[in-house]
Chains A and B, each alone.
Chain A
Amino acid sequence: MTGAPTIEVHGLRKAFRRKASRPGVLGALRGWLPGDVDVVPAVREVSLRVGRGELVGVLGPNGAGKSTTVKMLTGILWPDGGEARVLGLVPWRSRRELARRIGVVFGQRTQLWWDLPLRDSLDLLRHVYGVAAARFAGNLAAYGEQLGLGEFLHVPVRQLSLGQRMRGELVAALLHDPEVLFLDEPTIGLDVVAKGRIRDVLRGLVADRGVTVLLTTHDMADVASLCDRIVLIDHGQVVHDGPLAGVRARFGRECTLVVDLAEEAPEPLGALVVPGAREVRARGRRRWLEFDRSMTSASDLVAAVASRYPLADLAIEEPGIEEVIGRMYAAGSGAARG
């Protein structure tokens, strides 16, 4: 990573003003008066730096401010305060110039012409972005093949399935060779095969072309298979920023040892004193022992159990990515409120 970062954000803030909706007739009438507004702080303080060719996953619970952040970084919304530069441009001041160099996909919306065949939409976008014919043909052939658009290029967009349309959206965002991709829930509603294809394309863009990708998702498999780095936003603040391995180290320490005892034993297992370990479940001879890896190793725990109770079988369960992120969310909301 040399030179200035591709995305640089410092202290970004945005609050939405909403007409207060109050119950009852009187409440509705009050809504007509000026000044009766609720202020929703959507983004309180977001700072981050992303270098060229990084693939960053922005995670966070519903309403955390992820989409609002993406909208500010793409120049769609003006912030209330803070600074940002994308490719050296202030997004909301150089919206049109930046738009030509970035690709944006909102999984919940469409940038395609609803009633026209997909192919027509792509063709129109070629002119909107001023892409040369040869470059357009090359990109359409390459990405179209990777994402399997061939079979439905001539179908009106409104007749496409969600997954087909999303593949079309991604190709539409790639035709002008963007240097940065902002993807807000790009794999929403896709089947396993389609998700795999989109992930392959994204990995290829990063590896072969040095494209920088910032994506928000609720799909933990996306995170596990794509993101080198995770930014967790909660209540409009960055509460964690680091490599996925670090997240596991921080929030995935609690593992579970599952043992099948060779003989009947009391519930819970008496006289088992290992720091950081406790029995969380029991069903006959099968016992679940949760332990904190930073305080005890699996082998020490197995040895401690086996020294008193003969074992028939054992297994160690690591927390899945879903669970790790779930714990991170739970910890994050505590931190943000505190």
Chain B
Amino acid sequence: MSGQVRDAGGRVAGPVPYRSLPRLYARLAGATVRSQLQYRWSFALYALGVFGANGFEFLALLVLLGQVPSLGGWSAPEVALLWGMSTMSFAVAEAFGGGFEKLHMVVRAGAFDQVLARPLPVFFQVMTSQVEAHRAGRLAQGLVAVAFAVSGGSLPAWGADEVARLLGAVLSGAVIFFATFVIGGAWAFVTVDASEVVNAFTYGGATLACSPLDLLAVPVRRAATWVFPLAFVNYVPALAILHRPDAAGILPLSIDPSGPLATLLVPAVALAYLGVASLAWRAGLRRYQGAGS
């Protein structure tokens, strides 16, 4: 890629440089939020709805755990931790990946050509096309759940090590959900009718990740580890935080879930999955542009 070259007329030549993208992200994302705020009531009601739906989901979980002291060997605070981790990851992922989720509408409306007419990377433009500010509410709920888990005092230890593990896990989980949105977006180029199937994986995955994975049937468990790496969103990192053994044998070769290998495995899986997603994205985009398929 060439740098900035000016021609005789003072025009800037060459593509827009990558280093200007972060500031552009802030501007374009800001424009999306300002657009949403044009419809104040709808924005407020939507944010409230999202907040309420998640909150009720969490309440239902608490009611259930209040009745049964443990869920397949997981105590109430432990389940709250799983729920909180998955919820926070999903909130972060959706804040950045909302554009991929809505992409099928853009393609159907024929508005995607405009994206390709601009001098910016397509992936970047889709990321900025939908920024969901009200996801902050969801993030807050996840935090509340984790706080509840910690304040219960029943977690084995809670120090800098655990906080670091939690942060790393939430970020890795966010990457996994984000990659899922990207793969869903790639499908929009193949068929605009797949959005419900895609939702089953994104929202369905987030819901599934709220229950301890070792309670699931073995084939589902395997799929949720190696096909769609949900296990790495919260189950595997939670084992380390909670000092639990990997009773269900989710990890291969009996890797110690609290050991350094497992600690590295979580972000490694997340990045590998993101790599798969970016290949899928490229294939989808090529198909849209008709560049051989």
Q: Is the CB of B117 within 8 A of A104?
A: yes
Determine which of A14, A92, A114, A128 lies in contact with B119 in the assembled complex, contact meaning CB atoms within 8 Å.
Answer: A128
A308 to B221, CA, bound (A): 101
Cα distance A128–B119 when bound, in Å?
7
Partner of B114, one of A96, A111, A176: A111
- Complex Cα–Cα for A55 and B12 (A): 24
B residues near A97, Cβ cutoff 8 Å: 13-15, 119
Pick out which of these stretches binds chain A: B24-32, B82-90, B144-152.
B24-32
From B11, B14, B35, B38, contact of A177 by CB (8 A): B11
Rounded to whole Å, the gap between the CB of B196 and the closest CB of chain A is 16
Distance to closest chain A CB from B14 (angstroms): 6
CB contacts under 8 Å to A, within B1-46, are 9-16, 20, 23-24, 27-28, 31, 34-36, 38-39
Within 8 Å by CB of B38, from A14, A96, A115, lies A115
User: Would B27 and A114 count as touching, CB distance under 8 A?
Assistant: no
Residue A21, interface by CB 8 Å: no
With a cutoff of 8 Å between Cβ atoms, the chain A residues found around residue B23 in the complex are 127
Contact between chains at B289 and A76 (CB < 8 Å) = yes
Q: At the interface, yes or no: A78 with Cβ under 8 Å from chain B?
A: yes
Which of B11, B34, B286, B292 is the most central at the interface, judged by chain A CB atoms within 10 Å of its CB? Answer: B11
A113 cross-chain contacts in B, Cβ below 8 A: 31, 35
Q: Are A77 and B289 in contact (CB under 8 A)?
A: yes
**Measured between alpha carbons, how far is A13 from B264 in the docked complex, in Å?**
50
Given contacts A96-B15, A96-B16, A100-B16, are A116 and B35 in contact (CB under 8 A)?
Answer: yes
Closest CB of chain A to B263's CB: distance in Å? 39
| B217: A residues at CB distance < 8 A | none
Describe A's contact surface by its main secondary structure.
loop
Residue of A nearest to B115 (CB): A76
Asked whether A100 lies within 8 Å of B14 as measured between CB atoms, the reply is: yes
Contacts of A108 in B (CB 8 A): 110
Chain A contacts of B120 at CB under 8 A?
96, 128
* Interface residues of B, count at CB 8 A: 34
Whole-angstrom distance from the CB of A89 to the nearest CB of chain B?
A: 11
A99–B122 CA distance with the chains assembled, in angstroms: 12
Chain B, residue nearest A16 (CB): B290
B101-132 CB mask vs A (1 if < 8 Å, else 0) is 00000000011011011111100000000000
Q: Report if B261 contacts A (CB, 8 A).
A: no
Chain A minimum-CB-distance residue to B293: A17
Q: With an 8 A cutoff between CB atoms, is A74 at the interface?
A: yes
With an 8 Å Cβ cutoff, the count of chain A residues facing the other chain is 39
User: Which of the residues B27, B31, B119 comes within 8 Å of A129, measured between beta carbons?
Assistant: B119
B160 at the interface (CB under 8 A from A): no
Chain A residues near B292: list those with CB within 8 A: 78
Contact across chains for A96 and B121 when beta carbons are under 8 A apart: yes
CB distance from A105 to the nearest CB of B (A): 9
Checking A77, A100, A156 against B15 with a beta-carbon cut-off of 8 angstroms, the contacting residue is A100
- Contacting residues, chain B, for A78 (C-beta < 8 A): 286, 289-292
Q: Is B10's CB under 8 angstroms from A135's CB?
A: yes
Interface residue? A326 (CB, 8 A)? no
Chain A 111-142, CB-CB to B under 8 Å as 1, else 0, gives: 10111100010001001111110010000000
- Contact residue among A92, A104, A132, A176 (Cβ-Cβ distance under 8 Å from B289): A92
Report A207-266 residues with CB < 8 Å from chain B CB: none
Known: A100-B14, A115-B39. 8 other contacts (CB 8 A): A79-B290, A100-B15, A113-B35, A115-B35, A120-B31, A124-B28, A130-B12, A177-B9
User: B: which residues have CB within 8 A of A?
Assistant: 9-16, 20, 23-24, 27-28, 31, 34-36, 38-39, 110-111, 113-114, 116-121, 286, 289-292
Q: List 17 A-B contacts (CB under 8 A).
A: A14-B290, A74-B116, A77-B289, A78-B292, A79-B290, A92-B291, A99-B119, A100-B12, A100-B15, A101-B11, A106-B113, A109-B113, A115-B35, A116-B31, A120-B34, A131-B12, A132-B10
